[in-house]
Chain A
Amino acid sequence: MAARPHDPAARSRLIGTLTALVVLWPLFQAAEVRPGALFDPANLKVIGNFLGGFLPPETGREFLGYLGTATLETLAIATAGMALAFCLAVPLGYLASGAARERPTLNPLTRGLLTILRGIPELVWALVFVRVFGLGPAAGVLALGLTYGGMLAKVYAEILESVDPAPAQALRRSGAGRPLAILYGLLPQASKELASYTVYRWECAIRASVVMGFVGAGGLGQLMDQAMKMLNGGEAASILLTFMMLVLAADALSGLLRKGLDTPPAPRATPFGWRSALLALALPLAILASFRGLNIDFTALFSTDAARSIGEFLGGFFPPDLSAEWLRKVGKGLWETLAISIVGTLLAAVAGLLLALPRPHAPFGVLLNALRSVPELVWATITALAVGLGPFAGALALALHTTGVLGRLYAEALDNTPPTPARALKLAGAPAGLPFLYGTLPAALPQLIAYTLYRWEMNIRMAAILGFVGAGGLGQLLYFELSLFHYAQASTVIAAMLLLSIAVDQASAWLRRRLG
C-alpha cells in the first residue's frame, strides 16, 4: 500500500466546521454574548436581591385576590380570542383551500390576507389595539383573534388539502356542491387532525394571552409587568408559580381532549353521547362567560367613532419612513433579531440535549416543564435584570424557554430511537457514552435537527418582539417609536417584521422539502 488511506469526507467536514464558525462569530457579536455579564458584581447584586425576594412567595389576601382575577382574565382572553379566531378561520380557510375544487386555484387574495394576519406577531397587534381602544382585555382578544385566525385558517386549508381528495371529487362529479363535498368527503378524514390542532392552539393562546399583558392588554402579564417594575420578588414568584400551574393544567386538559378524539363513536343512530353533550354545553358557556367576564363593549368597538379613530390611527402609519438612515437602523435591528434567535436556539439545543440524556428522566422532566411553562417574554424581564438590557438578555430568555421545549422533544425522540445498535455496542464492551454516540445519536439526529429547525423558526418570530421588554432587536425599535408616537417609523419596523416572517416561512418550507 503506497499512500496512507485517508477519509475523503474529512476535507468537507473541516470546511463545514470552519464556515459555521465564521458565520456564527459575527452573530454572537451581534447578540452581544458576554457570559461575564452574568457574574458582574453589580448585576449579581440586583438579581440576587430580586431572587432573594422570591422566598416566601407573596400570599397576602389582597394580592391573591388580584392574582385570581388576573388568572381568570387570562383564561377568558384566551378563550374569547380563540372563539373569534375560529369564526375568522372557518370562512377564510374555506376560501384559501384548494380542497374539493374542480381546478386548483392559488387564491392570492385570501392567502395574502392570511400571510399578513399571522405574519405580524400578536403582541404587535395588541400594542396597536391598545393605542386605539385603550388599556384592557379588548385589545388582547382582538389581537389573538386576528393572528390565530390567520394561523388556523392556513393550517385548516392545508389539512384539508393533505387528505385523500378522491372522495370529495367523486361527490362533486355526482353533483354535490363544494361545501357538502368537503363535509362528506374530506371532513371525516381530517376531523381528528383539525380538532387536535385547534386544541393545541388554545393551549398556545393561554401562553400568548399571558404575554399580552405586558403591553397593557390585561391578565397575568400585566400583573407580572407591575411586579417586575417594582422588583417585587415575592409577587413575581407567586405569579410564576401560577403560570406554571396554568400551563400544566392546560397541557393536561388538552391531552385529555385529544385522547377523547381517539375513542370510537358509539354504534347508535346519532354518534353523540354524554361526552359530546357535555362539551356542546360547556364550550358555548365558556365562550359566553369569557366575553361577559371581560366586559368588552363591542358596540363601542364597532361604532363610527371607533372606525374614525382607527382610520386616523392607521393613516398615521402611511407613508412608512423609508429614509436611508432609518432603513439602516431597521436593518441593524433585523440582523440583531436574527442573531438573538440563532444564539438562543443554539444554547437551548446544547442545554436541552444535556438535560434529555440522563435516565430516568423524572427530576430533569420537572425542570424542563418549569422552563417551558414560563413564556420567553417573562424570562426576558428576568434575564434583563441578570445581564442588563440588550440582545444578550433576549438570547438568554429564548434559550431558557426553548431548553424546556427542546429538552422534552429530544427526550421523546431519543426514547423512540431503536435501541439495538447501542445495546450491541454495549455488549461488545464499549465504554460508557460511546454506545450512545455510535449507536443512538446517528439514528436520532435527523429528528433532533428537524425539531431544532422548527423551534428556530418560532424563535425568529419571538426574537422580533422580545425587545418590548428591552431585550434588543426589532421589538425594541418598535416599542420605542410607538411610545414616541412616531408612527411612520413604526410602520417601517412592522413591515420589516412581516417580511422576516414571510422569509422564514419560505425558508423553512424549502428546508423541510429538502430534509423530508
Chain B
Amino acid sequence: MSFVLDGVGLTHANGFVALEGIALRAERGERIALIGPSGAGKTTLLSLLGTAVRPTAGSASVLDFGLFSGSTATIAQTAPSRALRARIGTVHQSPPIPGRQRVVTAVLAGRLGRWPAWKGLLSLIYPQDIAGAQAALARLDLADKCFERCDRLSGGQLQRVGIARVLYQQPDLMLADEPVSALDPALAQSTVRLLAADAEARGATLVASLHAVDLALANFPRIVGIKNGRIAFDRPAAKVDDALLHDLYASEGQDLPMLANATRFAPAANPNPAANDAASRAACC
C-alpha cells in the first residue's frame, strides 16, 4: 500500500478548512492525476502526502508510516521521518532552487536524504555523482546545462531541472504539483509522459496535480477530481465524461482548462526591499 487517507481533514489555525473528509488510497505503482479548480485543495493534499503538513482530523499513513493527526501543523524532523522523507520526491510548482546554484548541485541535492552527511558536504566541494546527474538531465534534454548556473536558465528549463532532481532521487512516492506549468504544450506533454514512464518502470507511485484536463486524461489511468477541499469524484480515466468535468469546473466558466489554452507563468523574482536600507546601515560608521 502506498498511502491510505481515511477521513482526513485539515483546518488552518485561522479556521479556513482546506481539506475535509478525504478518503483516498493508492496501491504501489498507481498513477493518479488530481484535477480541479484553483484553490480546491490540490496543493494542500500533495503537501499532506509529502509530510509537509499534518492532518488535523482523520488518520493517514504514507509508505506504511502513520501520520497521526494533531494540533501542530508541521511534523518535527525525526529520524524515522527522515528515512521516510528520503523515499518521497516532490516536483514543486516553482522549483525550489537557489539561482546561484549550479545545475549539477541542484540535481544531486535530490539524494541528500540518502547520502551520509559527509558525502553531502564533500559534494559541495566536488560534485560526487556527475554521471548520475548528467543521466537524469539527459532524460529532460538538459545534459548540456549540467554545469550552468541556475539563474542562467529559462523558467521552463529551471522547472525541468526540478524534475531532474526528483528523477535522480528515485523516490517510491513521486508527488508533482503542477509540474509543467512553465512549459510549452509539446514539452509539457513529453515531460508528463516521462514522469509517468519513470514511475511505471520503477514501480513507483505517482500523484500529480495538473491544470490541463487533457494532459491528465491522456497520461493517468486514475483521475481524482477535487472541489472545495473534498473529493468530487475518483474514477478511471476512461469513465470521466464531459458532464462530470463541467460540473467540477463550474465556477471557472464554460471552457475546460486544456493544454492548448493553459495559462503559463514564470516564477516571480523575489525583490528584497530591506536590502538597500541595510546596506546603507552597513556603510555607516
Same complex for A and B? Answer yes
Write the residues of chain A forming the contact surface with B, with a CB cutoff of 8 angstroms. 1, 4-10, 13, 197, 200-201, 203-204, 207-208, 405, 409, 412-413, 416, 418, 420-421, 423-435, 437-443, 445-447, 450-451, 454-455, 457-458
Given contacts A5-B130, A7-B126, A437-B121, contact A428 B274 (CB under 8 A): no
Least Cβ distance of B84 to chain A in Å? Answer: 7
**A476 to B140 alpha-carbon distance, docked (Å):** 63
Pick the most buried of A208, A425, A428: most chain B CB atoms within 10 A of its CB. Answer: A428
Q: Are A200 and B280 in contact (CB under 8 A)?
A: yes
Q: Are A6 and B85 in contact (CB under 8 A)?
A: no
Q: Are B98 and A455 in contact (CB under 8 A)?
A: no
Which of A6, A427, A442, A454 meets B90, CB within 8 Å? A427
**A412 to B147 alpha-carbon distance, docked (Å):** 31
Least Cβ distance of A39 to chain B in Å? Answer: 30
**A437 to B125 alpha-carbon distance, docked (Å):** 11
Chain B residues near A203: list those with CB within 8 A. Answer: 284-285
Q: Are B112 and A429 in contact (CB under 8 A)?
A: yes
Q: Are B101 and A442 in contact (CB under 8 A)?
A: yes
Q: Are B100 and A443 in contact (CB under 8 A)?
A: yes
Least Cβ distance of A373 to chain B in Å? Answer: 11
Q: Are A5 and B134 in contact (CB under 8 A)?
A: yes
Which of A4, A430, A450 meets B109, CB within 8 Å? A430
Chain B residues near A441: list those with CB within 8 A. Answer: 98
B279 within 8 Å of A (CB atoms): yes
Least Cβ distance of B270 to chain A in Å? Answer: 5
Q: Give the residue name and chain of the B residue nearest to A452 (CB).
A: B282
Q: Are A434 and B112 in contact (CB under 8 A)?
A: yes
Q: For window 101-122 of chain B, which residues contact chain A by CB distance below 8 Å? A: 101-102, 104-105, 109-110, 112-114, 117, 120-121
Q: Are B112 and A424 in contact (CB under 8 A)?
A: no
Least Cβ distance of B4 to chain A in Å? Answer: 20
Least Cβ distance of B96 to chain A in Å? Answer: 4
Chain B residues near A418: list those with CB within 8 A. Answer: 270
**A10 to B87 alpha-carbon distance, docked (Å):** 31
Q: Are A420 and B96 in contact (CB under 8 A)?
A: yes
Q: Give the residue name and chain of the A residue nearest to B51 (CB).
A: A427
**A13 to B97 alpha-carbon distance, docked (Å):** 22
Q: For window 267-285 of chain B, which residues contact chain A by CB distance below 8 Å? A: 270, 272, 274-275, 278-285
B127 within 8 Å of A (CB atoms): yes
Q: Are A425 and B109 in contact (CB under 8 A)?
A: yes
Given contacts A10-B126, A434-B117, contact A197 B280 (CB under 8 A): yes
Q: Are A420 and B92 in contact (CB under 8 A)?
A: yes
Q: Are A451 and B279 in contact (CB under 8 A)?
A: yes
**A420 to B162 alpha-carbon distance, docked (Å):** 13
Pick the most buried of B52, B84, B100, B282: most chain A CB atoms within 10 A of its CB. Answer: B282
Chain B residues near A450: list those with CB within 8 A. Answer: 279
Q: Are A204 and B284 in contact (CB under 8 A)?
A: yes
B237 within 8 Å of A (CB atoms): no
Residue pairs across A and B with Cβ atoms less than 8 A apart, 19 shown, are A8-B147, A9-B147, A13-B125, A203-B285, A428-B86, A428-B88, A428-B113, A429-B86, A429-B87, A429-B113, A431-B112, A433-B117, A435-B112, A437-B124, A438-B105, A446-B100, A454-B279, A454-B283, A455-B282
Q: Give the residue name and chain of the A residue nearest to B50 (CB).
A: A427
B181 within 8 Å of A (CB atoms): no
Q: Which 6 A-B pairs have the closest CB atoms?
A: A429-B113, A429-B86, A430-B112, A429-B85, A204-B285, A424-B96
